[in-house]
Chain A
Amino acid sequence: EPEVTQTPSHQVTQMGQEVILRCVPISNHLYFYWYRQILGQKVEFLVSFYNNEISEKSEIFDDQFSVERPDGSNFTLKIRSTKLEDSAMYFCASRDRGYGYTFGSGTRLTVV
């Protein structure tokens, strides 16, 4: 069964450093998403991406965040200058039309 692949599974970074979280969505899916879950809290929507541009973003997705689909297969989330409060599990998801989201297994980001 097709799956969404996220790398790395765990990343530790120092505060103020840039991180790039990588995702390979399902190849024929059209919509791409990033969500995050801070430990013990809700899974929160960050951004959606369709037709090579951001289609929607939440208040969390400020200027420190950016997304790219550089080569038609990878979908990346960049955090320019990480803060302690960016520590969370980050989930990538892709979707065809309709309800069929497929999620990756997540990247646990720890900012120290």
Chain B
Amino acid sequence: GDSVTQMEGPVTLSEEAFLTINCTYTATGYPSLFWYVQYPGEGLQLLLKATKADDKGSNKGFEATYRKETTSFHLEKGSVQVSDSAVYFCALSDQSGNTPLVFGKGTRLSVIA
């Protein structure tokens, strides 16, 4: 079945450092890809998405590019802030978005001042 693999955390960075969280997937067909974020005590929030190959999703300074050739959707941010400390989840569904989300394990990011 479909699956998502994320880099293991936790990741600890200093403020203004560059962030990469790796995500690769296995899926039949052409899935839609997502990054969700969970801040402490809150629910999962959609951070960004991409629905076809070479699409770049972006939001709040975060970016991820749908790479079909490497089946990857790595999350990047050029300069992290303390407020970015959270757990980040990579996920996929079918292209229409109608199948249940398949999540990775999540990567905890801690940003220190």
Contact = CB atoms under 8 A, between A and B. Distances in A.
Chain B contact residues (Cβ within 8 angstroms of A): what range? 20 to 34
Contacts of A105: 41-43
A-B complex: 3 closest residue pairs judged by Cβ atoms: A43-B103, A103-B43, A103-B44
Interface in A90-112: 91, 93, 98-106
Interface of B: 4, 32, 34, 36, 41-46, 49, 51, 89, 91, 93, 97, 99-106
Query: Which residue of B36, B49, B101 has the most chain A CB atoms within 10 A of its CB atom?
Result: B101
Majority DSSP secondary structure for residues of B touching A: strand
Given A99-B34, A99-B49, A45 B101 contact: yes
Contacts of B45: 103
Interface residues of A, number: 26
Interface of A: 3-4, 6, 33, 35, 37, 40-45, 48, 56, 58, 91, 93, 98-106
